[in-house]
Structure 1
Amino acid sequence: MASFVHIVIYLPHQESSNQLIQSLLEGKLVIPRVDLTGKKAAEFSAGILDIFLQEEFLHGQTGLESEYQRPLHSLSSGEQKKALLNHLLFGKADYFILDELYDHVDLQGQASILATMKMIAETKPVIQLVRRQKDILPFIQSFHWYQDRSIHSFDTALDFHQYLDQHLAQNSFRPIPRAIKTIQAPTGPLVQMKQLCVSYDERPILDQINWTIQAGECWQLKGPNGSGKSTLLSMITGDNPKGYGQDLYLFGMKKGGGETVWDIKQFIGYFNPVMIQHFSRLDSIELMIVSGCMDSIGVYIKPSEMQLRLAKEWLDYLGLLALKNKPIQFLPAAQQRMVLIARAMVKHPPLLILDEPTSGLDDASAAMVIGMIEQIRKETKTTVLFVSHQQEKGFVPNKIFELTPCATGSTGTIV
């Protein structure tokens, strides 16, 4: 019988998993009744993945093999994680440290990873770092909470989960601020695509996609890693030149009919967690929200008094008015996301695209973001397109569009 235990450590959003991992590896932080002295760890984390990506960028190869037979940088986040886990399996580690094991991984991939981890758990101890309760591996035996550089342990799983439940955020938002001017989309569908096909270098991505998005609807876009969700979104935002010559209508305009990309973007609010990387570290959260009025990354002309007043209303709504001059990097992850969503919503666009808005967040933070999205649905006329692998508690879309990979490209189904 195994003489080791499998451990989970829950991290609130404000805590750094990198710092925790480093403290464990250096022996500066001790898990009660666990001795890691002299033992070699197999680290599964975003930091390790970044090292492989940097190696590929500098030298053209990583030493990290993938079942997809493509460069690591061309894989989706979930595919990259699968490749890293497979690589670690062949190492000679004494135990595994797993950080955000399932983040950005589709349900099929999660099932595959779970099967692999069950096999590993039979011979080696596992330390899992999580921010979401539902991600905890089923064979975990020892439960802990990490905060302020210390670990708090629980006697039972029940005590642990009850403690987490008490720390879930309770949303108490004020009414959604109104836009300066209403943006009226043309009558008819916001988005309509018929028999849409996309391929790259003779590799099919999307095959005969038929999808219509009407005003007032709330959709969730789902699909496994690499199924073409990002490609499909780029067709809707007008950024993808593959849309030319297709039966694709965006806000009443046929793609390639003489419209500019800005003619399309005026009707769209867009959010993606990686957007924060495009903003200068000196950008205040006030000016970040103002930039949503201008559809720009940053503010390059003097904002009007009305725009500044509207930004203050959004900051007051978020409870961040006192921090209006702070750079967004000073905020916790959940508040960063909500500022970026406010930026996308500041003009009350006919279509709001939210691409993985809760990825990487802990349970409490995800609940805050979902609460904001639900309020937007209830108090505005904006159509919401929510992109996520998973079903978030508290978010119930009207319709789901699911991509299914096939040899001829992913097909789409309304479920």
Structure 2
Amino acid sequence: MKESFVNIQNLTLKYQQKAVLKDLNWVINAGENYVLFGESGGGKTSLAKIIAGLQNGIGEVKINFDTNSYLPSEALFVESWYQFKNLEGVANFYYQQRYTCQQAKDTLTIHAELVYYGKEKGLNFDAVEPILNALNFSSFASSQLIELSSGEHKKLQLVKALWLKPQLLIIDQPYTGLDVASRKYLNILLDEVSKEGVQLILISNDSEYPNAINRFAELQNGQINVSDSKETSTISTVQILKEIPDFLKESPAYSSSDIVKMVNINISYGEKQVLKNINWEVKAGEKWLLQGHNGSGKSTLLSLINGDHPQSYANELYLFGNRRGSGESIWDIKQHIGLISPEFHWYFDANSTVWQSIASGFYDTIGLFQKLPYTKSQQVDELVEYFGLTSSKNELLSTLPLGKQRLVLLARTIIKNPELLILDEPCQGLDQQQTRQFNHFIDELCSNGMTLIYVGHFESQLPNCLEKRILLENGEIKAVEILNTKTRHCEVRSNFCTVLFK
């Protein structure tokens, strides 16, 4: 009888006396490629790290690598987030540093990072070029790591993994931050390495995956349920959608009917122009969908609105009725805005408690440095309860699963009922139920008159309230259009793919 490739027997993992994995058994045979899915916080990432030898559990985990294969006898785990350091080997970056880093070369370029990785792993550099081209990443060679968006960081992780081609490749949230075209070509690349002998475990609740996937494993209550189809999921889709807290049912107190006005905005880093002649207006109460391929300029555009980009002073930019640079501070701008983005999550102080993290949204600080008055404390408690975080409210943010961390920061984003809500890929890390609850929440908020700018690559994760769309391509506005709410998903998908695959 042929030996299995991965054999897990009686694996148990406890966290703070709570059993996450309970005498788990899982056998992966040669040629089996899995999607591992389940509710957020169920232990998927921990299980993957144990298989890759990055975390310890109680039980037996054995990988029988093929010693006759030319592929490395390695189980590579690709994290959902990319962790990088500066040239001095530390990672104490701050959020706005991404937009001011051109003044000093703080981190490696992508090219230098790949050269270092190739030498470390003994790889042929010529072999990485087709991967870079397929993921539309070649033009980023001279970009510093700190300049990259979350989707671009994900691409760098994927490029390195596909270049190495280990015998076992485990990817946590492979499609996070990737545009439509990049997801398509990633699946093609994963199919290709699978044919060469790489076995896959993709941790994902998404509905798309490569053709090579032939098995599905759902992690539920510490146990693995294996099937040939994801349709047999035992996760309940029934969820009671709560009524939003009363203090968020009031319309925001608008200081101006003009939220954002951009006139011929241009942003350049040296010879590289990131935004070109952008003209865009956002009126109070409007709900915008902002889309574009990875590297199209979305994050830079949002950084101008949020007051984080120093080049805003050199452009004709109006925020909340005032021209940028007319005497207002960055904090004057931020008091009008609630923001969530993958990059903000990266740099947030994970050593604050859940309660403190949400409360800090009143003051736009990374951490809570003053005692809240009674009314504000009550509002924090209401949001803690609404998002199902009551049992975790005194725990450190860093101890929570990624999905719950994101819910905490989403609660922080809307705690002050801001005039403008900026949601950049807000559902990253959320499971299907959490995504549904959050989008219901956004729809309810926006029905009360809140202004919204929403960035999302997955049509299935968009709220229903979106009314208009602005599409960027290579730093320019490709399209501005009204969305038909009844047929919106179909129209957006069609138009977006036409642009990307022309």
Structure 1 distance, partners of 2:291, 2:51, is 36
Cα shift at 1:203:
1.0
User: For residues 273 and 293 of structure 1, what CA distance do their matches in structure 2 show?
Assistant: 20
The residue type paired with residue 414 of structure 1 is: V
1:134 is paired with a residue whose SS is: coil
CA distance in 2, matches of 1:88, 1:314: 39
CA distance in 1, matches of 2:478, 2:303: 16
Aligned to 1:402: 471
Please tell me the residue identity of whatever aligns with 2:214. Answer: Q
In the TM superposition, 1:75-86 aligns within 5 A as 75-86=148-159
What residue in structure 2 maps to residue 385 of structure 1?
Answer: 453
Specify whether residues 260 and 181 from structure 1 end up closer, same or farther in structure 2 by C-alpha distance, changes over 3 A only: farther
Letter paired with 1:177 = D
Q: Select between 8-17 and 249-258 the one with higher mean Cα deviation.
A: 8-17
Q: Distance in 2 between matches of 1:127 and 1:195?
A: 47
CA contact (8 A) 1:7 1:128 kept: yes
Q: Which has the higher contact order (CA 8 A, sep 6+)?
A: 1
Q: Structure 1 counterpart of 2:381, which letter?
A: K
Q: What is the aligned counterpart of 1:283 among 327, 347, 352?
A: 352
**TM-superposition CA deviations, 1:235-293 (whole Å, max 9, x none):** 11122121113221111001122222222222111123454555555533333333222
Cα offset, 1:196, TM superposition: 0.8
CA distance in 1, matches of 2:146, 2:330: 27
Map of 1:107 onto structure 2: 180
Give the aligned residue type for 1:8: V
**Residues 197, 208 of structure 1: 8 Å contact kept:** yes
CA 274–148 in structure 1, closer or farther in 2 if over 3 Å, else same: farther
1:304 aligns with 2:377: no
- Deviation digits for residues 180-208 of structure 1, max 9, x if unmatched? 99753234321111211111122100001
Can you give the 5+ residue segments of structure 2 that lack an aligned partner in the other structure? Answer: 1-29, 67-72, 90-106, 118-127, 133-137, 482-502
Residue 133 of structure 1 aligns to a residue whose secondary structure is: coil
Matching residue's letter, 2:456: S
What amino acid sits opposite 1:112 in the alignment? Y
CA contact (8 A) 1:206 1:228 kept: yes
1:12-411 superposed matches below 5 A: 12-25=39-52, 36-39=63-66, 40-41=73-74, 43=76, 45-46=78-79, 49-50=82-83, 53-54=84-85, 58=89, 60=108, 61-62=112-113, 63-64=116-117, 67=138, 68-70=140-142, 71-91=144-164, 93-147=166-220, 150-154=223-227, 156-157=228-229, 160-163=230-233, 166-168=235-237, 170-178=239-247, 184-276=253-345, 280=349, 283-321=352-390, 323-378=392-447, 380-393=448-461, 395-396=463-464, 397-405=466-474, 409-411=475-477
Counterpart Cα distance in 2 of 1:90 and 1:278: 29
What is the rounded CA distance, in whole Å, between the counterparts of 2:60 and 2:218 in structure 1?
Answer: 13
Do 1:98 and 1:126's aligned partners in 2 also have CA atoms closer than 8 Å? no
Q: How many residues align?
A: 400
Deviates more, 1:341-350 or 1:118-127: 118-127
Whichever residue aligns with residue 413 of structure 1, its letter is A
The structural deviation recorded for 1:402 is 1.4
TM-score (norm 2): 0.71
Identical amino acids, percent of aligned pairs: 29
* Separation (CA, whole Å) in 1 of partners of 2:168 and 2:244: 49
Alpha-carbon separation, structure 1, partners of 2:403 and 2:300? 26
**C-alpha distance in 2, partners of 1:72/1:276?**
17
* 3-state SS of paired residue (2:246): coil
Shift in alpha-carbon separation, 1:376–1:169, aligned structure 2, 3 A: farther
Cα deviation digits, residues 82-125 of structure 1 (max 9, x gap): 34433344436334333322111111211221221222222324
Secondary structure at the counterpart of residue 186 of structure 2: helix
Moved more, 239-248 or 79-88: 79-88
**Contact 1:14 1:332 (8 Å CA) reproduced:** yes
CA–CA separation in structure 1 for the residues paired with 2:307 and 2:348: 22
User: CA separation of 1:352/1:4 partners in 2, compared to 1, >3 Å: closer, same or farther?
Assistant: same
Aligned equivalent of 2:488:
none
Q: 1:331 to 1:23 in 2, by over 3 A?
A: closer
AA partner of residue 371 (structure 1): H
The whole-number CA distance in structure 2 between the counterparts of 1:365 and 1:29 is 33
| Matching residue's letter, 2:187 | L
Over 3 Å counting, the alpha-carbon distance change for 1:251 and 1:309 in structure 2 is same
- Secondary structure of 1:178 counterpart: helix
Cα deviations across residues 364-405 of structure 1 (Å, max 9, x unaligned)? 332232222222223x22111111222234623111111101
CA–CA separation in structure 1 for the residues paired with 2:412 and 2:145: 32
SS at 1:86's partner residue? Answer: helix
**How far did residue 18 of structure 1 move?**
4.3
Kept after mapping to 2: 8 A contact 1:245/1:255: no
State the 1:149 CA deviation: 5.1
Q: Please report how far the alpha carbon of residue 151 of structure 1 lies from its aligned counterpart in structure 2 after TM superposition.
A: 2.3
List runs of 5+ in structure 1 lacking aligned partners.
none
Comparing 330-339 with 4-13, greater Cα deviation is found at 330-339
How many Å separate the matches in 2 of 1:149 and 1:300? 38
CA contact (8 A) 1:289 1:340 kept: yes
SS at match of 2:413: helix
Counterpart amino acid of 1:385?
I
Corresponding letter in the other structure for 1:265: K
Distance 2:174 2:248 in 1: 40
CA contact (8 A) 1:289 1:343 kept: yes
Given that 1:96 and 1:126 are in contact with CA atoms closer than 8 Å, whether structure 2 keeps it comes out as: yes
**1:144 Cα offset (Å):** 1.4
Matched, 1:7 2:34: yes
CA distance in 1, matches of 2:159, 2:332: 45
CA distance in 2, matches of 1:92, 1:398: 43
